[in-house]
Amino acid sequence: GMKALREKIYAAYGPVNGIVHCGYLGDGTVIDQRTREIDERVFSPKISGTLILGELFEEQEQPLDFFVLFSSMAAIFGPVGQVGYSAGSAFLDAFASYFMNKHNETIFTQSINWGGWAEVGAAVDSTRNLAKAMQQDHDALMSSAMKPAEGVMAFARALSSGAHQMLVSTMSVEAQLVHLNTSRTSGLQEALAETDTKQQVLLKRPNLKTDYVEPRNEIEVKLAEIWQNLFGIETVGIKDDFFELG
């Protein structure tokens, strides 16, 4: 079992000084098509894996220097088709705080909420599944993903920050948080009602499959402004696909 594996690691390399837990299984299944088996499969590396690692190494004779958990921005924003992955990532965020407090901050524990990585990682796998199911363009959905070299640099900076939780994104987190539903604003109507009064940081229009088509009359201009404020994007064309916009 895992204890036997731990002993083999000790015998071959000596004490374990730190752990970086980045295990995952891709999601990409919308809620009405999910099963218990799908959720348990997605939960397994993030929840069960974290609990096992914590139990195995928290009481070793030489305490861990760090325990870093690779979470996701999905825990904050809950994107389409990622309910299991979002829940598993939210667990990692809570566990980092719990584990650090449990050990009186002697074991530095950090959860990193990653945005999507290009070329590798959970976002690539999950987005490929979702794009196929929803007939969307995978490359367009991944247009804002960070390059692996950028991710390595961000990891080094996060580890040296000393914070128990870090959000890493190529897009403005502030602008994205404007649109995060809360107990006070839980639906589209409430969001639309607030668009006239909110001051937002607007993002550049992402690369979409469709070319930008500007509004042609006063009504379309007004509708475009509403969607621009709701999505936090500078320009929304009348032919733009809402799934691609986010």
Q: What is the DSSP string of 180-241?
A: ---SS--SHHHHHHHTTT----PBPPP--SSPP----SHHHHHHHHHHHHHHTBS---TT--
Q: Express the helix, strand and coil content of the chain in percent, nearest 5 each.
A: 50, 10, 40
pLDDT band of residue 197 (cuts 50, 70, 90) is very low
Q: What is the pLDDT of residues 99-155, one digit of tens each?
A: 999 999 999 999 999 987 765 555 555 555 554 554 555 455 455 678 888 888 999
Say what the pLDDT of residue 196 is.
Answer: 46
| Helix (H/G/I), strand (E/B), else coil: 154 | helix
How is 28-63 classified by DSSP, letter by letter?
A: ---GGG--HHHHHHHHIIIIIHHHHHHHHHTTSSS-
Which is higher by pLDDT, 28 or 110? 110
Q: What is the pTM of this model?
A: 0.64
pLDDT band of residue 48 (cuts 50, 70, 90) is very high
Per the listing, tokens 């389409």 go with 80
Say what the pLDDT of residue 54 is.
Answer: 95
Asked if 82 and 28 touch (Cβ cutoff 8 Å), the reply is yes
pLDDT band of residue 223 (cuts 50, 70, 90) is confident
Say what the pLDDT of residue 70 is.
Answer: 95
Give the mean model confidence (pLDDT) for residues 18-27: 88
